[in-house]
């Protein structure tokens, strides 16, 4: 993974930093950091032990493929959908993608179980709303942003297209 950052880590990313795999550190005071992938500056409370920070946009890159997989699925069990989507390369153990993934999974499962929802309107709305729940919120507020995703699901069903 050294091609992204030039650090000397040989550890493969697993549940920590998506650049080098190091453990994440949560700080009480937020600071502006530069994304190790794209160079964008963003205020955050999270960095890895090697000092890497990855912005929300880079962390959720590739999520469109997850949405496509959810659209194509006929699975009604949200846990089965989560287990399948958690294996996707765009989904990391820690990160703001869970703020988006949670409402999308719930929408897909509800739709597949016969729930009356315009899935073509609701999924993009859930993605938009979920992406507004910033990365690092879990460590900063002490509540996982995926919990907000549970509320985003029904709100996305009733939302009018923008």
Q: What are phi and psi of 153, to 5 degrees?
A: -55, -60
d(CA 79, CA 156): 20
Average pLDDT of the residues in 111-140? 89
Q: Can you give the pTM of this predicted structure?
A: 0.78
Residue with the bigger pLDDT between 140 and 76: it is 76
d(CA 123, CA 43): 28
Terminal-residue alpha carbon distance, the chain: 39
Q: How confident is the model at residue 11 (pLDDT cuts 50, 70, 90)?
A: very low
d(CA 98, CA 95): 6
Cβ neighbour number for residue 131 with a 10 Å cutoff:
17
Structure tokens given for 93: 């153990």
Torsion sign across C-alpha atoms 65, 67, 68, 69: positive
pLDDT tens digits, one per residue of 43-57: 888 899 999 999 988
Do residues 25 and 7 make contact, with C-beta atoms less than 8 angstroms apart? no
Residue with the bigger pLDDT between 46 and 136: it is 46
Residue with the bigger pLDDT between 7 and 80: it is 80
Do residues 106 and 100 make contact, with C-beta atoms less than 8 angstroms apart? no
Structure tokens given for 34: 């530069």
């Amino acid at each position: 993974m050294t091609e992204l950052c030039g650090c000397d880590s040989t550890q493969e990313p697993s549940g920590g930093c998506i650049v080098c795999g190091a453990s994440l550190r949560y700080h009480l005071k937020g600071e502006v950091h530069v994304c190790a992938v794209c160079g964008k500056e963003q205020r955050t409370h999270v960095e890895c032990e090697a000092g890497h920070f990855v912005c929300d946009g880079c962390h959720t890159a590739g999520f469109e493929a997850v949405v496509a997989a959810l659209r194509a699925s006929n699975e009604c069990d949200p846990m089965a959908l989560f287990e399948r989507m958690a294996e996707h390369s765009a989904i990391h153990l820690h990160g703001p993608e869970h703020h988006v993934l949670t409402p999308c999974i719930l929408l897909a499962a509800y739709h597949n179980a016969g729930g009356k929802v315009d899935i073509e309107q609701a999924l993009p709305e859930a993605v938009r709303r979920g992406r507004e729940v910033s990365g690092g919120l879990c460590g900063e507020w002490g509540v996982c942003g995926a919990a907000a995703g549970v509320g985003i699901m029904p709100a996305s069903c009733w939302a009018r297209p923008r």
